[in-house]
A and B are shown apart, each in its own frame.
With several copies, the nearest count.
Chain A
Amino acid sequence: MPIINYIDAISKGLWEEMERDKNVFIFGQDVGDYGGAFKVTKGFIKHFGAERVIDAIIAESAIIGAATGAAVAGMRPVVEMQFSDFVTNGFSQLVNNTASIHYRWNLSCPIVLRMPTGAGVRGGPFHSRNTEAWFFHQPGLKIVAPATAYDAKGLIKSAIRDDNPVLFLEHKRFYRNIKDEVPDEEYIVEIGKGDIKKIGSDISIITYGGTLHQSIEAAEKIEKENGVSVEVVDLRTLAPLDIDIIISSVKKTGKVLIVHEDNLTGGIGGEISALIIENAFQFLDAPIKRVAAFDIPTPYSPTLEDYFLPNTNKIYSALLNLSKL
């Protein structure tokens, strides 16, 4: 099977869906001739034309609102935020209008919001946001956060086909650093389904997005060095959460480490912890632990950012502590 970059997987998925459905269009800053700040839509405008790959003004509230309106009117907009951070400017549209269209109006709102997400690229406080916790708390939004090329392609296609608003969190650190096997044949990854990325029996890591690969690394390290068998559950979809895959892993291992790149307090790790307690309390052999970024804005300087972020070592240490409980 061909091995391709995470970013190319997203581009291919977008391209195929645009070929499949002429109502799909791309809308965002610099997405046309320039192909977007990260070049995800490079070459699209030549093939699909300027009516389907539309450069937007710098006005995220109008962009999200207009895409919402277009979606209700039967189009299938795929919006690109230049960086996830700037979704804050369209926050009101997203949580008030977009999220509740179906509940209030009984109408579909098939909009995909692509957001280059996350830290670790020396982007500083305003180009590094993990935005999932805000939207996870908003009823009516679906959220996916793929961490492999395979999942990215499969999920962008599902997101576009979904009749609901879907936030597509693509980790910008992965674009050209993560590559894996992606079949040439048509496939999708279902929204709402997690994936066991590594089987294990002693501890479950529940993670997604930015910290998946570090989690796998730490799991492999502790297996090799300490003989502890760790299962790595990749949520892939954050809303709706795949509670079944979490609970069945926890029932097997009895110990849980939740890992996310987002700030600790109020991150979705808290909700996952609460759900495990509510659904599998009697299976727990130790307290649930979390590894996440510290509760500060993402600092710019490499020394600060490295200290601030979760990493393989921090996850390994947490696993080691858990294994001794």
Chain B
Amino acid sequence: MKFPLTFEDYKSLYYYIKLVREFEESILRLYRQSKIVGGAFTGYGNEATSVGSAFCLNKNDYLFPMHRDIGAHFVKGQSVKKIMAQHLARATGPAKGRDGTGHYADADLRIFGNISHLGAMIPMATGMALASKLKKEKSVALTYIGDGGSSIGDFHESLVMASVMKLPLILIIENNQYAYSTPISKQFNVEKLSDRAIGYGIPGFTIDGTDVEEVIKITNEACERARNGDGPTLIESITMRMHGHSAHDGAEYVPKELMNEWKEKDPVINFEKKLIDKKIISNEFKIETESKIKKEIDEAIEFALNSPFPNGEDALVGLFSE
């Protein structure tokens, strides 16, 4: 990616950020209609972080998104249809119904979705960064972790490893103020989580995760360092989980004032406003984009709902590579 951003970049970012918001609204609707068999997560408030960070990646970079990062999937090239089919546990999703939501891999797009165990993808991303180094690919591996998940041992082990081996790893802590019901005050006792970078001897940044330009600027620099052989970067992105933990959770434990404060910083609304104010996009373009997205999502829903569930017997196929 080249920085600064071009007009085309802004338009593209606008499309993705709006797409995420609309996609997640549709997921919540499907959830309320009992069309989703398991849990449903959204990344409300995290759109700028997930879209902006993935925007910095090349085709052959490795992406390991977490459960608030549907935006990153889209930016890396995944189709709305496939992600929708994933959420609806259909045979046409990339995981063929074996797992849901963002839990799948697409090797062509180099997207490797998470498993539920928090932190578990950081070592794997570190390993792809190692593979990149051994193969002299210049690919970076980008992954994420929550404020809560950053307590897990895998976080530490991976950063020690990536730092001492100078691996092209970028880890973004999505500090969205809560881990399920638990506020960050009960999870760690440090002003900035990016200060953990000091202990690993790597660059660390705390950024406004609702500002897509800031996200891109800092992630892009991290990519450059990684590609130049300068090792990993730790970025703490400050956001707000503007919904409950998952669709079943009303988040009554979040003080109203806090939620209202953060509504002012809504990354989608603010980005749109800024683009229009600065005349980077027109009102026409907005309406066009919105209707394009609506169409895409409607088609995806139709595609997914019309897709079959996998055949039961197929459960037994493919445990091993033959």
The 8 A CB mask of B100-124 against A (1 = contact, 0 = none) is 1001110100001001111010111
Is A296 located at the chain interface by the 8 A CB criterion?
A: yes
Task: Decide: A72 near B124, CB < 8 A? Known: A105-B105, A299-B315.
Answer: yes
- A interface residue count range (under 10 / 10 to 19 / 20 to 34 / 35 or more): 35 or more
Task: Kindly state the separation between the CA atoms of A70 and B132 in the bound complex, as whole angstroms.
Answer: 8
Q: Which of B123, B128, B149, B315 contacts A73 (CB 8 A)?
A: B128
Task: Kindly state the separation between the CA atoms of A127 and B96 in the bound complex, as whole angstroms.
Answer: 18
Is A272 located at the chain interface by the 8 A CB criterion?
A: no
Q: Which of B174-182, B256-264, B279-287 sits within the interface?
A: B174-182
Least Cβ–Cβ distance between B131 and chain A, in angstroms: 4
Q: Is the CB of B313 within 8 A of A66?
A: no
Q: What residues of B have a CB within 8 angstroms of the CB of A303 in the complex?
A: 97, 309-312
Least Cβ–Cβ distance between A177 and chain B, in angstroms: 16
Is B62 located at the chain interface by the 8 A CB criterion?
A: yes
Task: Kindly state the separation between the CA atoms of A301 and B153 in the bound complex, as whole angstroms.
Answer: 31
Is B157 located at the chain interface by the 8 A CB criterion?
A: yes
Q: Which of A96-104, A148-156, A215-223 sits within the interface?
A: A96-104
Task: Decide: A124 near B123, CB < 8 A? Known: A62-B158, A296-B316, A302-B89.
Answer: no
Is A30 located at the chain interface by the 8 A CB criterion?
A: yes
Least Cβ–Cβ distance between A165 and chain B, in angstroms: 9
Is B203 located at the chain interface by the 8 A CB criterion?
A: no
Residues in B120-169 with C-beta less than 8 Å from chain A: 120, 122-132, 134-135, 141, 148-149, 151-154, 156-158, 160-161, 164-165
Task: Kindly state the separation between the CA atoms of A54 and B96 in the bound complex, as whole angstroms.
Answer: 37
Q: Which of A96, A106, A125 contacts B120 (CB 8 A)?
A: A96
Is B187 located at the chain interface by the 8 A CB criterion?
A: yes
Task: Kindly state the separation between the CA atoms of A188 and B180 in the bound complex, as whole angstroms.
Answer: 34
Q: What residues of B have a CB within 8 angstroms of the CB of A105 in the complex?
A: 95, 104-105, 107, 112
Task: Decide: A65 near B120, CB < 8 A? Known: A57-B187, A296-B315, A304-B312.
Answer: yes
Q: What residues of B have a CB within 8 angstroms of the CB of A320 in the complex?
A: none
Is A136 located at the chain interface by the 8 A CB criterion?
A: no
Q: What residues of B have a CB within 8 angstroms of the CB of A34 in the complex?
A: 180-182, 253
Task: Using CB atoms and an 8 Å cutoff, list the residues of chain A in contact with chain B.
Answer: 25, 29-30, 33-34, 37, 51, 54-75, 83, 85-86, 88-89, 92-93, 96-97, 102-109, 122-127, 139-140, 142, 163-164, 294-297, 299-308
19 A-B contact pairs sorted by A residue (CB < 8 Å): A29-B179, A58-B179, A59-B157, A62-B158, A73-B135, A74-B131, A89-B153, A97-B124, A102-B320, A107-B107, A123-B38, A124-B100, A294-B315, A300-B103, A301-B91, A301-B310, A304-B97, A304-B312, A305-B315
